[in-house]
Structure 1
Amino acid sequence: MNQRIQSGPVMAALLVAGFVGLFSETALNIALGDLGHIFEVNATVIQWLATAYFLTLGILVPVTGILMQKLTTRQMFITAVVLMLGGTVLAALAPVFPVLLAGRVIQAAGLAINLPLTQNVIFTIFPPAKRGAAMGIMGLVMLAGPALGPTIAGLILDTLSWNWIFWVTVPFLLFSLVFGLKYVPNLHEVREVRVDALSIVLSTLGFGGLVYGVSIAGEKGWGGAGVVLALILGILGLLLFTVRQLKMKTPMLNLKAFQYPMFVVGVVMGFITFFNMLSMLVILPLYMQGTLLVAAFTTGLVLLPGSLLNCVLAPVIGRLFDKYGPKAVVTPGTLFVAAAYAIYAQFGADTALWLIVAAHIVMMIGVGAVLANVQTNTLNSLPRAYYPDGIALTQTVQQVAGAIGIAVMVSVFSARSGELSGAPGGIAEATAAGSSRVFLIGLILAAVNVGLSLLMKKPGEVRVKAGKTESAVWKEEEAL
């Protein structure tokens, strides 16, 4: 690593901005009901404050691969933080709903740049032997932001107005901007890369259509005309985008990253992890508030111990990954997640809060061991030249997985709850049954991740072609 680069301040600038963006991803969810009354819009319209955030991430993250080749590191960083800061201030001052929605979209655009940029910086300034610890810190941010969002937002709503959900983050963004201007260096050479307009259109149509379709499916039903049309356009767009990338000499996203086995395993595990994690952060509060009649702020407090413990353990888990390799850390993590889901699936109408706290602690320890370490091993399996593409691909898959996970699990939850809403026990029993069905599906997916974790190896251990190891192949490619 270049000794002139002060990695601590660089990471602080990037991760503080990332935390704010991920905090904003979930913090507003707890205020949607109040905001609907304040702006006099119905539930269908107000949900766009959440849907638009995911939709913007799904559309813009794939484009960051080419942006990281055309713009300097500092230009990317400044653009990301200025967008997040501008969107936050606009949302805080919003006099009408369209202005608030525009602020959310601008916020998400900044996060869409920040997340891939942070990963790219980590993989540039840290050698492979230290990336696990650095990615562990990033994993802490990726988990703590969404997990702490509802708790902090609930406290703010109990004491201040909704605007302060945005205002409270402004000092952190200003800190990030000042630190970044002073310490973030330019870490790569800018290339003359041609922007292929058709690729951008197909990417937007594909990822945007897919995220939009699944986001509105919970409300309109999976058979709704708008849902079906959006999903068809999304799938068609992705297919055409893939074909075009494979035929281009200089593609917008280099899909050749998928020729590396550990990259494929990591992408699938990352998809499942985000699918489960973000849907769990939606369904678990619905269960506590609908079945156990727990207040919103109390719900946040119940989830807080697991989130805080994850923050404490994240750097330790990252160092264990560096020392012992992926399988020794990730496999136990997947077992913890599966165990937590096995407990969740037993929840009923009279489950004690201490059991929910305990299960969530087990879940967050497991997710902390899986999330960042899978990402590290996934990107370690690629040649350096593929890092921007690999990062854009993994980040896109994760955001799409989160949107799909929330939409699918909410649909399952609503369908099962609806079936039993008229049964003895009323809404409480119906909500518990819907939650149990969701957690059972989560348990099955968690079990799949346990199996996939057994396939994980350090990149140098994998043999891919001509009797050569994966690392030998990409070293040859880097030399060309």
Structure 2
Amino acid sequence: MSTTFLFGYIVFMLVTFLAVNLIARRARQPRVAGAGGPALDETLIEAEAVGAIPAAPAPQAQATISTENISIPKVITVLLIGMFIAILNQTLINVALPVLINDFNVTTSTAQWLTTGFMLVNGILIPISAFLMRSYTFRRLFLVSMTLFFFGSVICSMAMNFPVMMIGRVVQAAGAGVLMPLGTNVFMTLFPPHKRGAAMGMLGIAMILAPAIGPTITGYVIQNYDWHVMFYAMAFFGLLTLLLGFAWFKLIQPLSKPKFDALGVVFSTIGFGSLLYGFSEAGNDGWDSPVVISTIVIGLLGIAAFALRELAMDDPMLNIRVLKVPEFSFTLFINVIVTMALFGGMLLLPIYLQSIRGFSPVDSGLLLLPGSLIMGITGPFAGRLFDRFGIRPLAIFGLTLMTYGTWELTQLDLNTSYYSIMGIYMLRSFGMAFIMMPIMTAGMNALPMKMIPHGNATQNTLRQVAGSIGTAILVTVMTRQTTAHLADDANQFTTLDPTLSQHLGELGQQLGSPQAASVSWLTQLTKQATISGITDAFWVATVLSALALVLSFFLHGKKEPNLD
């Protein structure tokens, strides 16, 4: 089954990239005749070339230029490939951690820094992405990002000890951390507002499929090859994307060259870095851990100092005044709630499948794969519906399915069938396809063009924080409820209970040892308590999803986007 899946995955990748190319070609803006020859009427590419930017640009298309030397489909293709492998790389390490712990002879908490460190670098870079977009061209940022990603992958592929691996992951994260906000900014710039829904649906292919496919691919590699193969592959695809970027990615935009705010960067780094670390550790060490409490407090103080600093500046690095736009703030609030429910749920289900039910990483990945494929395939379709009907009907429909699917996961037990879980996850994923990218696009459309980089940085930063908070909350609920259920179940039975004594006696005869019977009984009791803890956590996720559903009824219907 693994070999068949690998072949199918390769075919799927090729089909996906061909489909993206086809969709992108169909999205090419029509040419209209005018004085002096053909020109692009709807192109919103902000690019800077000698003499190309008019002194008084039209309101609908600020700083538009001819794109005769730029192939939009090629730009989109290389950007999606780069984002896909960058996001895929984030999820690869999770499944490989047990092997890396043995190979590097480090503790689990030390090895966890391979994922925590990656997340922290991303969390530090995203808030300053608006500054980077105004200081460097899209082309330069993309090429630098892919160069860093390539060299980071090479370092990881050659790592023979933990410090070298950690350095490689940090270098990778420095490249990947810029790609996400860069991708959103490019898509919002390339496409006119009435086509952004479908365009962002294409972007969702990379954002949704990559994290779902990653664990399955890693599981296959770990079972059949050496873990270094993963990073050899990342280096190869990184180099290929870099070469394609040199040839195809030629987008540039007018630069305002803002002044570098060193103090703002320090506050941002301390604030968001500490906060993300605190919440990530809360799931492991508990909320009462001195490290967790202190880092969260430091993070909140750092973010407060960063916000005051930016509000006091005439030209802030990150203009958080975007939060004053009601529609942007409201869609962002719903997005944060959905992200909390989504990220935590993505962690809980693999725990149930692998730790409780005994499925291999490949089998659990294959179970989740159809739902992820549905999200990727449905994304562009949902985007077109957004362009036509607006966000409210899509959000209500999507969150209804997501809430019901999450509630179904509260009914898991030791006997829930493989295909039942697959069906539930497919339904939940189908609903999420109608909310994830459309809600982001709705918020961004409410902003004027010049504020989109700031809105994008704000949105991505808060989603990172929300993912960490959601994961920490649901993991905490799972662990504490598991302990409570285990204590309750143990208290219901004592060795003096005649029913239990008879059951253990019969089990001891079957296994040939009373001690083995006791161990078997405790194992089953622990599994049942863990399942109860997981379902309790899914109840919290269901409540969060239901809250987002209620709020979705207050979203605006279709309205004209801000073209200022």
- Bucket of the pairwise TM-score, normalised by the shorter protein: over 0.9
Partner of 1:366: 431
Question: Residue 440 of structure 1 is aligned with which of 539, 546, 549?
Answer: 539
1:90 correspondence with 2:189: no
Partner of 1:269: 334
Cα deviation per residue 1:437-462 (whole Å; 9 max; x = unaligned)?
1110100110111122222225746x
Question: Residue 187 of structure 2 is aligned with which of 114, 122, 130?
Answer: 122
Cα deviation per residue 1:181-218 (whole Å; 9 max; x = unaligned)?
12222331112211111111111111011001111122
C-alpha displacement at 1:101, in angstroms? 1.3
More off after superposition, 276-285 vs 184-193: 184-193
Q: 1 CA distance for matches of 2:446 and 2:476?
A: 36
Q: Which amino acid aligns with 1:430?
A: A
C-alpha displacement at 1:129, in angstroms? 1.3
Cα deviation per residue 1:234-290 (whole Å; 9 max; x = unaligned)?
001111111111111111111111111111112112212222222222110101122
Q: For the Cα contact (< 8 Å) 2:91–2:214, is it kept in 1?
A: yes
Question: Residue 132 of structure 1 is aligned with which of 176, 179, 197?
Answer: 197
Partner of 1:301: 366
Q: 2 CA distance for matches of 1:438 and 1:53?
A: 26
Partner of 1:426: 525
Partner of 1:18: 83
Alignment map for 1:61-210 (pairs within 5 Å): 61-210=126-275
Q: 2 CA distance for matches of 1:426 and 1:7?
A: 58
Q: 1 CA distance for matches of 2:178 and 2:385?
A: 29
C-alpha displacement at 1:76, in angstroms? 0.6
SS of equivalent residue, structure 2 residue 556: coil
Q: 1 CA distance for matches of 2:396 and 2:238?
A: 36
Partner of 2:290: 225
SS of equivalent residue, structure 1 residue 168: helix
Q: Which amino acid aligns with 2:188?
A: F
Q: 1 CA distance for matches of 2:558 and 2:386?
A: 13
Cα deviation per residue 1:90-137 (whole Å; 9 max; x = unaligned)?
111111101111211111111111011111111111001111111001
1:378 correspondence with 2:419: no
TM-score, structure 1 length as denominator? 0.94
1:341 correspondence with 2:403: no
Q: Which amino acid aligns with 2:532?
A: A
1:416 correspondence with 2:481: yes
Q: Which amino acid aligns with 1:180?
A: G
* Structure 2: 5+ residue stretches without partners: 1-42, 44-65, 491-523
SS of equivalent residue, structure 1 residue 345: helix
Question: Residue 108 of structure 2 is aligned with which of 38, 43, 51?
Answer: 43
Q: 1 CA distance for matches of 2:267 and 2:341?
A: 28
Q: 2 CA distance for matches of 1:454 and 1:189?
A: 39
Q: For the Cα contact (< 8 Å) 1:61–1:396, is it kept in 2?
A: yes
1:8 correspondence with 2:58: no
1:354 correspondence with 2:453: no
Partner of 1:450: 549
Q: 1 CA distance for matches of 2:86 and 2:342?
A: 17
C-alpha displacement at 1:179, in angstroms? 2.1
C-alpha displacement at 1:306, in angstroms? 0.6
Question: Residue 320 of structure 1 is aligned with which of 343, 363, 385?
Answer: 385
Q: Which amino acid aligns with 2:85?
A: V
Q: 1 CA distance for matches of 2:253 and 2:278?
A: 37
Q: 2 CA distance for matches of 1:316 and 1:30?
A: 32
Partner of 1:58: 123
Q: For the Cα contact (< 8 Å) 1:420–1:430, is it kept in 2?
A: yes
1:216 correspondence with 2:315: no
Q: Which amino acid aligns with 2:246?
A: L
Q: Which amino acid aligns with 1:127?
A: P
Q: For the Cα contact (< 8 Å) 2:327–2:446, is it kept in 1?
A: yes
Q: 1 CA distance for matches of 2:387 and 2:434?
A: 12
Q: For the Cα contact (< 8 Å) 1:49–1:104, is it kept in 2?
A: yes
C-alpha displacement at 1:149, in angstroms? 0.8
Q: Determine which structure has greater relative contact order: mean sequence separation of CA pairs < 8 Å that are 6+ residues apart, divided by chain length.
A: 1
Q: 2 CA distance for matches of 1:57 and 1:86?
A: 17
Q: 2 CA distance for matches of 1:168 and 1:101?
A: 18
Partner of 1:467: none
Q: For the Cα contact (< 8 Å) 1:381–1:459, is it kept in 2?
A: no
Question: Residue 242 of structure 1 is aligned with which of 304, 307, 312?
Answer: 307
More off after superposition, 152-161 vs 312-321: 312-321
Q: 2 CA distance for matches of 1:356 and 1:7?
A: 40
Larger radius of gyration: 2
Q: 2 CA distance for matches of 1:33 and 1:136?
A: 35
Cα deviation per residue 1:312-369 (whole Å; 9 max; x = unaligned)?
2222111111122112222211111101111001111221111110111011111211
1:278 correspondence with 2:354: no
Q: Which amino acid aligns with 1:400?
A: V
Cα deviation per residue 1:369-389 (whole Å; 9 max; x = unaligned)?
111111111100000010110
Q: 1 CA distance for matches of 2:107 and 2:486?
A: 23
SS of equivalent residue, structure 1 residue 186: coil
Q: 2 CA distance for matches of 1:367 and 1:361?
A: 10
More off after superposition, 93-102 vs 169-178: 169-178
C-alpha displacement at 1:427, in angstroms? 2.2
C-alpha displacement at 1:3, in angstroms? 4.7
SS of equivalent residue, structure 2 residue 226: coil
SS of equivalent residue, structure 2 residue 260: coil
TM-score, structure 2 length as denominator? 0.80
Q: 2 CA distance for matches of 1:420 and 1:330?
A: 36
Q: 1 CA distance for matches of 2:325 and 2:348?
A: 35
Q: For the Cα contact (< 8 Å) 2:390–2:559, is it kept in 1?
A: no
Q: For the Cα contact (< 8 Å) 1:88–1:104, is it kept in 2?
A: yes
Q: Which amino acid aligns with 1:37?
A: N
SS of equivalent residue, structure 1 residue 188: coil
